[in-house]
Amino acid sequence: MDNVLSVIPLGGVEEIGLNMTVMEYGDDMIVIDAGLMFPEEDMPGIDFVIPDFTYVLENREKVRGIVLTHGHEDHTGALPFLLKELSVPVYATPLTIGLVREKLREHNLEHVELNSVMPREVVTLGVFEVEFIRVTHSIVDGVGFGIKTPAGLIVHTGDFKLDPTPVDGQLMDFHKFSEYGEKGTTLLMSDSTNAEKGGFTFSEKEVRRSFEDIFSDAKGRIIIATFASNIHRIQQVIDVAAMFGRKVILSGKSIVSNAQIALDLGYLRIPQNIWLKLEDLKNLRDEEVVIITTGSQGEPMSVLSRIATDEHKTIHIKEGDVVILSAKMIPGNEQSIGRIINHLFRRGANVIYEKVSEIHVSGHASKEELKLMLNLVKPKYFMPIHGEYRHKVYHSRLAEKTGIPKSNIFFLENGEVLEIAGEGANKSGKVTSGRIYVDGKGVGDVEDMVLRDRRRLAHDGIVLIIIGIEKLTGTIVSGPDIVSRGFVFEDASQDIINDVKELVSESMSELSSEIISDKSLIQAKIRSVLKKYLRNTMDRKPMIMPIIFEV
Ligand SMILES: [Zn+2]
Ligand SMILES: [Zn+2]
């Protein structure tokens, strides 16, 4: 429609993750962020979820560009899938571009036009003039946007907190946000993640004090797990390591690659001779070692998980090691994180985690900071984003307290359209939206989970592996029995079935007692062994379901 601005969140307003918003005016459209969400526990076999962006593809000739707030996966993870279908330029700050470039390379999308934009620069995309405004967050180089549209000014905060002492010294640009307040902003879209929390979120620098305490007490090696994208945290560990005369070893593909990108772009400062390779571990005394790795969420295939169950080639936990989980326990992951903590304690490590020490601070603004943002920008209309329903409720209460009438606060569902024109703003219908389940990187794999399962069943069938184990010892007491449907005729292919049985028994006998005590780890192991075998020998991908019962 003419003379109407449509603001359409395609994801991120019903969950934390999947962040993606479309703005449309006449023949022009821009996309803000294109993020993923990691699967919940009831989505077996799914690697991650991305928003359904059909609406963007239907309007492909209008899309002038994609702007990104920062490099977190919940804002950039869907980008490769979108860019495979649509060739448009991408605009973001230098570190975000660095991280995205690496991601696109993995998907063979080197040809995409990537533009580095500095805070306070303005990018013109059709009728939209997008100004980048620096914010502080748990990743460096985050921005929000001030967007000039024919229907008024829009401010999108991105993910933010007000960190008065950021690790890199780059303060949030309060001045710009208040400038938008002075000019008169029509709509504010703001981060609701921590709207339930009172007060202020601690500065990232607070973590440093906890690190210093832990480092001064530690006699042995220190192993720290955090998010690979948390460059500030990695910087603080490196600084404290240098202070205590320790060397730093980074372990894990994503963390090494992110650190290298940040180092190349000047976002990470590493003193001479501090960063060593894993091979150097054997030449160091325990009290000289800090290992930084990933796996803080208990991910079964991560370095930390392998260390915890003694499956790692080089790093073996021993008495005196200190392991720090320097990240938030994301709800839903508590059980797997708890298991890893138990495994580590059992091997003699001292484990320090969120519940017992201040080794993590959030990257998102709490109540007082959110109110300050509302007061700076003084918007006519307000849309809470980046949160589940309850976060948005808390955020909207804050907005009411700062004087925004309830009728000017808009709760949108994914795909709902907010229309803004001269006379006012109102909700107006819904475009195609939803979630797409992704298993692996292939484009062909991107489809609804049910469809994908059905298709896989139809093509390659299903293989059930049924094993009874003795609860305490983990010895197999019955099976493995193999039941398959639509995969091979069981009597015609007895050889394959026998091979599968043998393979399962063999890999079970190699498992450590800790893995045996954990059904999900056994299942993951069997699945990966069989997947590989069936692909190599038969080029088939049946659904593999290990069923393990204890007697
Ligand atoms: Zn973020
Ligand atoms: Zn986010």
Give the angle subtended at the CA of 530 by the CAs of 528 and 536, to the nearest 5°: 105
Give the mean pLDDT of 23-37: 97
- According to DSSP, the β-strands at 381-385 and 322-325 are unpaired
CA of 5 to the centre of ligand 2 (A): 24
Mean pLDDT, the chain, whole residue set: 89
The per-residue pLDDT for 410 is 98
Give the mean pLDDT of 219-241: 94
* pLDDT of 332 higher than 80: no
Greatest Cα pair distance in the chain: 78
What does the pLDDT look like over 166-175, one tens digit per residue? 988 999 999 9
Q: Nearest to residue 254, comparing CAs of 311, 282, 295, 218?
A: 295
Work out the angle between the directed axes of helices 231-243 and 253-264 (0-180°, nearest 10): 80
Ligand closest to CA 139: 1
**Contacts of 303 by beta carbon, 8 Å cutoff, 6+ apart:** 251, 252, 293, 294, 295, 312, 315
Ligand closest to CA 143: 1
Rounded Cα distance between 421 and 405, Å, is 18
CA of 255 to the centre of ligand 2 (A): 19
Q: Hey, is 180 helix, strand or coil?
A: helix
3-state helix, strand, coil in the chain (%, to 5): 35, 25, 40
Instruction: Name the one residue in this structure whose structure tokens are 């797990």.
Output: 225
Q: Is the dihedral of CA 340, 345, 350, 355 positive or negative?
A: positive
Tokens of 273: 């001779």
> How would you label 57-74 residue by residue, b for 16+ Cβ within 10 Å and e otherwise?
eebeebbbbbbbbbbbbb
Rounded Cα distance between 430 and 118, Å, is 34
Rounded Cα distance between 370 and 458, Å, is 51
CA of 191 to the centre of ligand 1 (A): 10
The per-residue pLDDT for 491 is 56
235 strand-pairing partners: none
Q: So which residues are the catalytic ones?
A: 191, 364
Give the mean pLDDT of 42-65: 85
Minimum mean pLDDT range among 90-94, 221-225, 246-250, 435-439: 435-439
Rounded Cα distance between 274 and 198, Å, is 39
The per-residue pLDDT for 446 is 41
E strands present in 63-193: 63-67, 90-92, 114-116, 122-125, 128-134, 143-149, 152-156, 185-191
CA of 231 to the centre of ligand 2 (A): 16
Give the mean pLDDT of 46-61: 90
Report the share of the chain in percent with pLDDT over 90.
65
Ligand closest to CA 160: 1
CA of 230 to the centre of ligand 2 (A): 13
Ligand closest to CA 135: 1
CA of 159 to the centre of ligand 1 (A): 5
Minimum mean pLDDT range among 18-22, 142-146, 224-228: 224-228
* pLDDT of 398 higher than 90: yes
What does the pLDDT look like over 302-326, one tens digit per residue? 889 999 988 898 999 999 999 999 9
Collect residues with CB below 5 Å from ion ligand 2. 74, 159
* pLDDT of 485 higher than 90: no
The per-residue pLDDT for 160 is 97
Q: Which of 21-25, 328-332, 449-453, 502-506 holds the top average pLDDT?
A: 21-25
Tokens of 195: 């709207």
* pLDDT of 451 higher than 90: no
What does the pLDDT look like over 268-300, one tens digit per residue? 999 988 999 999 999 999 999 999 999 888 777
Query: If 0-12 CB within 10 Å is exposed, 13-18 middle and 19+ buried, where does residue 285 land?
Result: exposed
CB 234 within 8 A of CB 259: yes
Distance of CA 468 to the CA centre of its chain: 36
- In the chain, the N- to C-terminal Cα span, in Å, equals 66
**Contacts of 314 by beta carbon, 8 Å cutoff, 6+ apart:** 278, 281
Tokens of 465: 């592996």
Give the mean pLDDT of 220-232: 93
What does the pLDDT look like over 375-384, one tens digit per residue? 999 999 999 9
Q: Is 440 left (phi over 0), alpha (psi -120 to 50) or beta?
A: left
Q: Hey, is 148 helix, strand or coil?
A: strand
Higher pLDDT, 351 or 1: 351
CB 83 within 8 A of CB 112: yes
Work out the angle between the directed axes of helices 367-377 and 174-183 (0-180°, nearest 10): 50
